[in-house]
């Protein structure tokens, strides 16, 4: 089959003919119809700052397609089914995996990093990685559910326990944050979108943010949010923790601060008493679990969540490298480039 392959130390994908992956009894072979190009793929391929577990490696963790073949122990799928391929990899045997909380698995990983992914004509994954979609569900939109949409969904809905009517601040409106804006709206929240990038803020406005706040310069996010009446939930996709520190003063009692973006600096809590008196939760959120995809598929089907604006453009597999470079340089203010292997 044809695949985009990354060798160790290379900063470039190579389109090659590779051997089709073998199918284990609990696994499903999926013909890839669409695969999103994610910021973490830029770190994997162009920067090497998020290395793969081993090389050569086929990237790609946001995909959808058609079931081609099922292992002998697969019970939930059959050839011809349309599916989303979940982004996470996990052991499938630990207590977390057995109760459908794969992102808490001690061996949690990401397709395309810890196993070969979907920048290819086919991928082989365990059946627990798949969620069925109806035949009229667009493949590119289904693909981005796997990470760009399900990761912020998990952060808001499960880690953040968002209640309709609450006020949400989304920090960082790139590929994940922009979907946090869409999801928060779909779940009935009032949404502030904050970023330093004009293009990202323009996307957030289009996505329906009630207000956009430009953090360029010396803007104290917490002060601005407090002046506007405060917030119940903060979701950070920027990894710039100063915003979190400053925003404690803007949190309503019982507020939740959800960290998704991975930064390099220490998180310093300057006013711990406020944290205690207001009973604010600060927690991390990583990936998603079995609950997210079925709920998201329903939200899209019902028309409450419209992802049509999220697909910037479609590209053949041969343009994977070009998509990574354009994403890095933000050429064309992209939300998601999608490959169609
Ligand atoms: Zn991703
Ligand atoms: Zn596990």
CA of 144 to the centre of ligand 1 (A): 9
Residue 271 pLDDT level (bands cut at 50, 70, 90): confident
**What pTM value is reported for the model?**
0.95
Task: State the distance from the centre of ligand 1 to the C-alpha of 229, rounded, in angstroms.
Answer: 33
Return the SS3 of 277.
Answer: helix
What pLDDT does 264 receive?
Answer: 87
Contact 335, 323 (CB under 8 A): no
Model pLDDT for residues 1-42, shown as the tens digit of each residue:
999 999 999 999 999 999 999 999 999 999 999 999 999 999
Rounded to an integer, the average pLDDT of 275-290 is 96
User: Any idea which ligand is nearest the CA of 111?
Assistant: 1
The predicted pLDDT at position 104 comes to 97
161-284 sits in which CATH class? Answer: alpha beta
∠ CA 196-185-303, rounded to 5°: 125
Whole-angstrom Cα distance, residue 142 to residue 97? 23
> With contact defined as beta carbons under 8 Å apart, do 285 and 155 qualify?
yes
| Cβ atoms within 10 Å of 146's Cβ, excluding its own | 32
Residue pair 137/144 in contact by the 8 Å Cβ criterion: no
Interacting residues of 72 by C-beta distance below 8 A, sequence separation 6+ = 25
Quick one: DSSP state of residue 120? Answer: B
Contact 102, 96 (CB under 8 A): yes
Of the ligands numbered here, which is closest to the C-alpha atom of 128? 2
The DSSP output letter for 10 is -
Could you give phi then psi for residue 41, rounded to 5 degrees? -70, -30
Kindly identify the ligand whose nearest atom is closest to the C-alpha of 99. Answer: 2
Superfamily of domain 2-148+288-339: Medium-chain alcohol dehydrogenases, catalytic domain (3.90.180.10)
Question: What separation in Å is there between the alpha carbon of 320 and the centre of ligand 2?
Answer: 31
Distance 163 CA to ligand 1 centre (A): 26
Q: How far is CA 295 from the centre of its chain?
A: 15
Residues pairing with 194 in the sheet: 171, 213
- CA–CA separation, 174 and 238 (whole Å): 8
- Gap from CA of 89 to ligand 2 centroid (Å): 9
Report CA(39)–ligand 1 centroid distance (Å). Answer: 6
The domain locations on the chain are 2-148+288-339, 161-284
The mean pLDDT of the chain is 96
Ligand 2 centroid – CA 84 distance (Å): 20
| Nearest Cα residue to 147 out of 62, 207, 84, 44 | 62
DSSP 102: G
Distance, CA 224 to ligand 1 centroid (Å)?
30
Q: Percent of the chain, pLDDT > 70?
A: 100
Distance 146 CA to ligand 1 centre (A): 8
In our burial notation (b when 16+ CB lie closer than 10 A, e otherwise), range 156-176 reads: bbbbbebeeebbbbbbbbbbb
- 106 Cα to the center of ligand 2, angstroms: 6
Ligand 2 centre distance from Cα of residue 110 (Å): 13
Over residues 212-260, the pLDDT tens digits come to: 999 999 889 999 999 999 999 999 999 999 999 999 999 999 999 999 9
Cα Rg of the chain (Å, integer)? 20
* Distance of CA 101 from the midpoint of ligand 2 (Å): 8
Q: Which helix (H) or strand (E) holds 71?
A: none
DSSP codes of every residue in 142-189: HHHIIIIIHHHHIIIIIIS---TT-EEEEE--STTHHHHHHHHHHTT-
Same CATH topology for 2-148+288-339 and 161-284: the answer is no
The number of the ligand nearest the C-alpha atom of 88 reads 1
* Contact by Cβ (8 Å): 62, 296: no
What does the pLDDT look like over 153-209, one tens digit per residue? 999 999 999 999 999 999 999 999 999 999 999 999 999 999 999 999 999 999 999
Nearest to 67 by CA among 135, 150, 149: 135
CA of 286 to the centre of ligand 2 (A): 15
């Amino acid at each position: 089959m044809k695949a985009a392959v990354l060798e160790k130390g290379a900063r470039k994908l190579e389109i090659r003919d590779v051997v089709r992956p073998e199918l284990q009894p609990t696994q499903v072979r999926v013909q890839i119809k669409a695969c999103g190009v994610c910021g973490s793929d830029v770190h994997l391929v162009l920067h090497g700052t998020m290395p793969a577990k081993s090389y050569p490696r086929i990237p790609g963790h946001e995909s959808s397609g058609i079931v081609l073949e099922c292992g002998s122990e697969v019970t939930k799928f059959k050839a011809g089914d349309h599916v989303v391929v979940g982004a996470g990899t996990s052991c499938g045997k630990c207590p977390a995996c057995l109760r459908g909380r794969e992102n808490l698995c001690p061996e949690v990983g990401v397709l395309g990093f810890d196993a070969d992914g979907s920048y290819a004509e086919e991928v082989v994954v365990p059946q627990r990685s798949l969620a069925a979609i109806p035949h009229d569900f667009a493949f590119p939109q289904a693909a981005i559910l796997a990470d760009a949409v399900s990761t912020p969904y998990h952060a808001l809905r499960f880690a953040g326990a968002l209640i309709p009517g609450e006020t949400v601040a989304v920090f960082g409106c790139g590929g994940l944050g922009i979907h946090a804006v869409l999801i928060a709206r779909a779940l009935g929240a009032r949404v502030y979108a904050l970023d330093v990038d004009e293009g990202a803020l323009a996307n957030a406005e289009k996505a329906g943010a009630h207000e956009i706040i430009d953090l360029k310069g010396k803007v104290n996010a917490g002060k601005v949010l407090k002046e506007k009446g405060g917030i119940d939930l903060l979701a950070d996709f920027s990894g710039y923790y100063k915003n979190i520190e400053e925003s404690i003063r803007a949190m309503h009692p019982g507020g939740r601060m959800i960290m998704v973006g991975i930064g390099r600096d220490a998180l310093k809590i300057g006013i711990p008493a406020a944290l205690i008196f207001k009973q604010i939760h600060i927690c991390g959120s990583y990936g998603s679990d079995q609950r997210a995809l079925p709920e998201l598929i329903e939200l899209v089907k019902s028309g409450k969540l419209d992802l049509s604006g999220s697909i910037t453009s479609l590209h053949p597999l041969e343009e994977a490298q070009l998509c990574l470079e354009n994403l890095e340089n933000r050429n064309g203010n992209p939300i998601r480039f999608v490959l169609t292997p």
